[in-house]
Amino acid sequence: MNLSEIFDIDPELLNYVVIPLLIFVARVCDVSINTLRIIFMLQSKKYVATVMGFFEAAIWLMAISQIFQNLGSWQTFLAYAGGYASGIFVGMMIEERLAIGNVVVRVITAKPADDLIGFFKDENMRFTNLEATSGDGPVNVLFTVIKREKLPNTVSAIKKYNPQALYTVEGVKKVSDGEVMDDKGFSRRIFRGVGSR
């Protein structure tokens, strides 16, 4: 007994609409999970990444089995490729919403950074401020490590107080020997021995 008989669906509707749609949804799910799994791996969350890998493989096998059963249908190939591409997009959107992990923010500004430093202090953010020299003269270089969820607020402050500043943001796999921060700010161990102000 095939699926059309089990669910009482017209065979053509099943082969050309239902199965491609299921393949598309399965691919969106497994590629989204794959995107998140890689991010969790980079954050050293091995148990979460392992569980996600199991579900990713299970969904992929289901999708590929339907592809092999419907090799003569171009709709299944289109659904497979479309689901893959859409899954990448969906996975990245989910990852942005989750704001997983930590980032290091570096700010280089020729303008005095007093207001920005004041913002860092008001937000209980630990930071390091260095005086340096660029090709155009003296600059201030500020470093801070924050949770990604705080990045939009930090970038807004940089643009508000030092709109001409150059800033970079990079992902951080691990920070020193302690947690990055709690609701009150950084662990005191993180910048121990560094010239922070």
pLDDT in tens, 138-163: 888 999 998 888 888 999 999 999 88
Band of pLDDT at residue 176, cut at 50, 70 and 90:
low
Which architecture does CATH list for 102-186?
A: 2-Layer Sandwich (3.30)
Q: How would you class 68 by CB atoms within 10 Å of its CB: exposed for 0-12, middle for 13-18, buried for 19 or more?
A: exposed
pLDDT in tens, 81-140: 999 999 999 988 888 787 777 888 999 998 788 888 899 999 888 888 888 888 888 888
pTM for the complete prediction?
0.60
Band of pLDDT at residue 73, cut at 50, 70 and 90:
confident
Q: What is the pLDDT of residue 112?
A: 81
Residue type, 45: K
Q: What is the pLDDT of residue 19?
A: 82
Q: What is the pLDDT of residue 44?
A: 78
Longest dimension (CA), the chain: 79
